Amino acid sequence: MNHYKAYCFDLDGTVYHGTEPVPEAVALIEQLQQQGIEPYYITNNSSATPEQVQQKLAGFGIHTKAKYIVTSAIAAAHYCKENFTDAKVQMFGETGLREALLAEGIELVTSNPDIVVMGIDREVTYEKLADLCLNIRAGAKFIATNGDRAMPTERGLLPGTGSFIKLVEYSTGVTPTFMGKPEPFMLSYIQEKSGYSKEDMILIGDNYDTDILAGIRYGIATAHVEGGVTSREEVLLKEDHPTYLLENLASVSIEKAFQG
């Protein structure tokens, strides 16, 4: 299994389902680590810090370092730092986004921002949304961690970041720059930090419209795993197909599939 060097795993739906691990994924990750390959984990969830995700993975028997976990919040913070020198940022989000922005040395403000960065905020109020809209109308750049309309929870699908973004977008007439999948910013971040070429990278996920499309847009190999958001039949109807179509992540089928 040395054909790829950077295995980028989607999390919810691929490595785990909510609070339950996917055994085949856990086994594959362990197999890769035994061969000296540390996978990367990418998620559109901007609310959690890498350390919180690390702790959740450890509960499933997956042990990794926080530096291998890349969230849409990290991608957003990195994008702001790289493209807007000394910009002041107003944040709409939770701990994961706040910590990512502060880690990049970005100044957070509550008024007169140069940039508005919007993630998920489960303590949303009308006043918070109104404030964002006013600042965007005043000329602040609009960046969003991700456009997911819903997020899976034990209660079912609840409104995601994309639902609130649509409200702000509709009010202001301004479309944000998205950082999460299917945009490739998290993948470019991994490539920049790891030094691997695109030929070394593969993205593994269950959702064609976020995971697989992100990999295709970035120009790396992709592996779609059945049993999640998008069925095999739906994938085959798409114009651009993933590199691999996998029934599951059982190590035996992966070993055959990934030898190129």
Segment 232-246 mean pLDDT = 91
Closest residue by Cα to residue 171 from 203, 212, 129, 227: 129
Give the model's pLDDT for residue 257.
Answer: 60
Give the model's pLDDT for residue 230.
Answer: 84
Count other Cβ atoms within 10 Å, centred on residue 20.
8
Q: Judge whether 116 and 143 are in contact, CB under 8 Å.
A: yes
Q: Domain segments of the chain: what residues?
A: 6-44+181-257, 84-178
Arithmetic mean of pLDDT over the chain? 92
CATH 3.40.50.1000, domain 84-178, yes or no: yes
The predicted-structure confidence for 13-37, as pLDDT tens digits, reads as follows 899 988 889 999 999 999 999 999 9
The predicted-structure confidence for 97-107, as pLDDT tens digits, reads as follows 999 999 999 99
- Note whether 6-44+181-257 and 84-178 share their fold: yes
The fourth-level CATH superfamily of domain 6-44+181-257 is: HAD superfamily/HAD-like (3.40.50.1000)
Segment 228-238 mean pLDDT = 86
Distance in angstroms (rounded) separating the CA atoms of residues 185 and 79: 8
User: Which pTM was predicted?
Assistant: 0.91
DSSP 100: H
Give the model's pLDDT for residue 1.
Answer: 41
DSSP 68: G
Asked whether the predicted pLDDT for residue 151 surpasses 90, the reply is no
